């Protein structure tokens, strides 16, 4: 499975997109990620494995708690691919980056 396959497949599920949105706010423990969902912890844990394999999140165990962290860089590949379609054609990425800097929109 290519990276793109894994990334798009991971994004093709409302539960997983919700998880990513939650992690956008802050890093979270597996149990806390699972709390809002009406499914078992094991099911959520599986979703986290899929997100991890796609590179969209990373998981790090500290003590008995496993922390989940967003890895937005992984979406770059998908964005790069998807942006070759749409109304934006042949966008100059350097100029775009400069624009983001100027607008103060680029992340630290």
Partner DNA sequence: CGAATAGTCAACCAAATGGTTGACCTTTCG
Partner DNA sequence: CGAAAGGTCAACCATTTGGTTGACTATTCG
Options 18-26, 27-35, 45-53, 58-66: segment touching its own copies (CB under 8 A)? 18-26
Distance separating alpha carbons of residues 80 and 23, to the nearest angstrom: 22
Distance separating alpha carbons of residues 73 and 77, to the nearest angstrom: 8
Answer whether 77's CB lies under 8 Å from 4's CB. yes
| Strands of the 28-29 sheet, one edge to the other | 28-29, 65-70, 57-62
* From candidates 39, 41, 43, 91, binder to its own copies by CB under 8 A: 91
Cβ distance to its own copies smaller for residue 13 or 35: 13
Task: Work out the widest C-alpha separation in the chain, in whole angstroms.
Answer: 48
Asked if 65 is part of the footprint of its own copies (rule: CB under 8 A), the reply reads no
Residues that bind DNA (CB under 7 A): 9, 12-13, 15, 29-32, 38-43, 45-50, 59, 63-67
Interacting residues with its own copies (CB under 8 A): 2, 4-5, 7-9, 11-14, 17, 20-21, 24, 70, 72-73, 75-76, 78-79, 81-92, 95-96, 99-100, 103, 105-107
């Amino acid at each position: 499975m290519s990276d793109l396959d894994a990334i798009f497949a991971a994004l093709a599920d409302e539960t997983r997109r919700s998880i990513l949105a939650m992690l956008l706010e802050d890093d979270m423990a597996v149990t806390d990620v699972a709390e809002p969902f009406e499914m078992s912890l094991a099911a959520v844990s599986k979703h986290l494995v899929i997100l991890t394999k796609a590179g969209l999140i990373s998981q790090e165990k500290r003590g008995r708690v496993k922390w989940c962290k967003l890895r937005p860089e992984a979406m770059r590949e998908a964005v790069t691919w998807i942006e070759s379609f749409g109304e934006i054609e042949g966008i100059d990425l350097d100029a775009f980056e400069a624009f983001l800097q100027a607008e103060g929109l680029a992340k630290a």
